[in-house]
């Protein structure tokens, strides 16, 4: 298959560097235009973006591939004019800073093409990860209007799409991964429809039974579409569906597991006793939909779940579980990964319990919990004569909230191999965060539970088995990776290119990493693996593969274990964990 061209650099692989980071002056000595390089070096950088552009320009000019030369454009005076800054963030566990760029050609974005540059606090270079390419053989002026392209999607999906649904449509260049041909395309984000399913699909239904496992989500379909701006052909489609604080009040209540828990809420008024499930320290708020049908697009209630005193007792186990578990996920991302909330900008984490959807399941039951519209929604199932909320499952909650983290970092395209990575990283943090709080000994993985969604299949089995995916008929090696047929679009019938099915391969690699031993002791602490996975995921580009994930994790390890005498052995162990499942 034809893919974008890959460029990777890490200071640990550079014989010219010799230290943990490469200073700009080292490039100046090599440059054919030394005056320009010296002028741009060192303290003269006025921003992280300027430093990142300088390093990218210097490195890519040394690469003769047309894909890299197209980004540099040596005939223009700007540094890497083919790249536009998308965002910047601090990688706090490493003490470094990341600048993410997207590629453009003739000021039009290139779908999936990106570059990620890691810098020290002194703006010296640590690493570069990029997927770039040269756009060729395509007219950059569209023949098909945005409205006509939206109409083509409507005909393709047999859906009446109002004109306003296409207002976010924009032009992009798209490379067909099978033929390698370039297209100018209209990109429509989050259209309320999905690709049609082929009745002849020999694997019909597999996505539902072996994928998410909780059935279809009770939300309207939402897919991103790319439509050829000349021919009107549907090129690709994939799912779009992851101030001064008031004084907190210490609350108690019984959760869905019948355990009495302690958590934070907020007093309704100073000196009163009434409280709300509104944790001002963690920005966690929990609301009760009271079995309102989500198909009606209900608004968030006016107020979080309240109680007349700080003891919720057994009056709302679903809300207590959701509030407690959302706070646990926030705490883990904050304390272990040093991330400020799901979006790393302190967004409020809103949970809504007692959700129903008559179009999916007869109320009041709803076998689903999901991240949608920047919120967590919880259904419930009948257990032992009473409704039990899925908010009891910390692993499912951490999984779903991690989709939100992915959405605001690497934004992995939710289809085929990048979609499988999207699901795998969500599983990884579902398992780690759940055991962090519930395992007999969080530091000893021998005491962990490796089931994801225990008991949630109709036959009582878990949704996935992190330790042994084959127990549930899932693959644990690349030889069993399931691919779409050429020309087959990702859709709900094939689980968006078997994302849940194939995710188990990467899951198994990480299980190897968590359990790998040397001289009777585990090679990596739980914190080590969490940081490697999190920071590895954040530096991936949207169309990343399993092999790209391995390369990203290794790059993180080179910095993270930089002063560790066992650094090389640990990097070799990471490679071995992935090689055991056929990823190299």
The one catalytic residue in 58, 124, 131, 400 is: 400
**107 a catalytic residue:** no
DSSP classification of residue 54: H
In the numeric block, the tokens 């499942």 are attached to 581
Tokens of 529: 């693996």
The one catalytic residue in 97, 500, 506, 511 is: 500
Q: How many CB atoms neighbour CB 158 within 10 A?
A: 8
* Separation of alpha carbons 558 and 555, rounded Å: 5
Tokens of 577: 């964990």
Residue 116, φ and ψ in degrees, nearest 5 = -125, 125
Rounded to the nearest 10 degrees, the angle between the axes of helix 526-538 and helix 546-560 is: 120
Secondary structure, 3-state, 134-156:
CCCCCCCCCCCCHHHHHHHHHHH
Q: CA 68 → CA 83, 131, 174, distances in Å?
A: 11, 10, 17
**488 a catalytic residue:** no
CB 462 within 8 A of CB 453: yes
CB 67 within 8 A of CB 73: no
Q: Which residues of 105-126 are buried (b: 16+ CB within 10 A; e: fewer)?
A: beebbbbbbbbbbbbbeebbbb
Q: CA 415 → CA 28, 63, 239, 369, distances in Å?
A: 42, 30, 7, 21
Question: Which SS3 state, helix, strand or coil, does residue 484 take?
Answer: coil
CB 359 within 8 A of CB 296: no
CB 488 within 8 A of CB 198: yes
Question: Which SS3 state, helix, strand or coil, does residue 165 take?
Answer: helix
Q: Which residues contact 214 (CB under 8 A, 6 or more apart)?
A: 367, 368, 369, 370, 390, 453, 456, 463
Q: Which residues contact 85 (CB under 8 A, 6 or more apart)?
A: 49, 99, 100, 101
In terms of Cα–Cα distance, which of 73, 99, 76 is closest to 86? Answer: 99
CB 52 within 8 A of CB 75: no
DSSP H or E run through 224: strand 223-228
* Separation of alpha carbons 356 and 218, rounded Å: 8
In terms of Cα–Cα distance, which of 223, 164, 229, 166 is closest to 196? Answer: 223
Tokens of 351: 């949970």
Q: What would you measure as the largest C-alpha separation in the chain, in angstroms?
A: 79
Residues forming the active site: 400, 500
């Amino acid at each position: 298959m034809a893919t974008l061209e890959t460029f990777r650099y890490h200071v640990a692989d550079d014989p010219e560097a010799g230290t943990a980071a490469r200073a700009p002056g080292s490039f100046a000595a090599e440059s054919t235009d030394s005056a320009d390089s010296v002028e741009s070096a060192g303290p003269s950088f006025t921003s992280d973006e300027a430093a990142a552009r300088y390093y990218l320009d210097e490195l890519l000019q040394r690469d003769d591939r047309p894909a890299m030369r197209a980004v540099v454009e040596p005939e223009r005076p700007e540094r890497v004019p083919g790249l536009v800054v998308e965002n910047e963030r601090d990688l706090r566990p490493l003490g470094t800073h990341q600048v993410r760029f997207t590629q453009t050609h003739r000021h039009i974005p290139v779908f999936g093409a990106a570059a990620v540059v890691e810098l020290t606090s002194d703006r010296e270079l640590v690493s570069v990860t990029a997927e770039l390419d040269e756009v060729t053989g395509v007219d950059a002026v569209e023949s098909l209007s945005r409205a006509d392209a939206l109409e083509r999607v409507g005909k393709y999906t047999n859906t009446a799409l109002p004109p306003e649904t296409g207002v976010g449509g924009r032009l992009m260049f798209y490379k067909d991964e099978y033929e390698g041909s370039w297209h100018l395309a209209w990109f429509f984000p989050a259209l309320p429809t999905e690709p049609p399913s082929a009745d002849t699909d020999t694997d019909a239904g597999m996505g539902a039974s072996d994928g998410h496992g909780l059935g279809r989500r009770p939300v309207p379909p939402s897919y991103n579409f790319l439509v050829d701006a000349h021919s009107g052909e549907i090129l690709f489609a994939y799912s779009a569906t992851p101030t001064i604080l008031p004084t907190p009040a210490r609350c108690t209540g019984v959760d869905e597991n019948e355990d009495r828990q302690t958590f934070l809420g907020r007093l309704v008024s100073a000196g009163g006793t009434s409280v709300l499930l509104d944790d001002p320290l963690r920005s966690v708020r929990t609301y009760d939909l009271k079995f309102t049908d989500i198909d009606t697009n209900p608004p968030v209630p006016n107020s979080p779940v309240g109680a007349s005193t700080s003891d919720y007792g057994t009056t709302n186990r679903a809300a207590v579980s959701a509030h407690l578990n959302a706070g646990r996920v926030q705490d883990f991302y904050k304390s272990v990964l040093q991330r400020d909330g799901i979006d790393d900008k302190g967004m409020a984490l809103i949970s809504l319990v007692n959700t129903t959807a008559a179009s999916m399941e007869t109320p009041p039951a709803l076998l689903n919990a999901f991240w949608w519209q920047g919120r967590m929604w919880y259904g419930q199932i009948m257990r032992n004569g009473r409704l039990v909320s899925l908010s009891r499952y910390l692993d499912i909650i951490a999984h779903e909230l991690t989709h939100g983290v992915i959405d605001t970092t690497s934004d992995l395209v939710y289809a085929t191999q990048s979609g499988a990575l999207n699901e795998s990283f969500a599983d990884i943090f579902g398992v780690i965060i759940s055991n962090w709080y519930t395992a007999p000994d969080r530091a000893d993985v021998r005491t962990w539970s490796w089931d994801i969604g225990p008991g949630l299949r109709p036959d009582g089995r878990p949704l996935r088995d992190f330790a042994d995916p084959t127990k549930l008929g899932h693959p644990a090696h690349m030889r069993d990776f399931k691919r779409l047929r050429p020309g087959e679009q990702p859709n709900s019938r094939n689980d968006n290119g078997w994302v849940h099915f194939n995710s188990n391969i990467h899951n198994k690699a990480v299980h190897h990493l968590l359990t790998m031993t040397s001289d009777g002791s585990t090679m990596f602490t739980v914190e080590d693996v969490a940081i490697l996975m999190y920071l590895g995921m954040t530096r991936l580009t949207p169309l990343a593969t399993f092999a790209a994930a391995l390369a990203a994790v290794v790059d993180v390890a080179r910095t993270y274990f930089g002063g560790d005498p066992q650094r090389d052995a640990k990097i070799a162990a990471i490679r071995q964990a992935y090689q055991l499942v056929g990823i190299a």
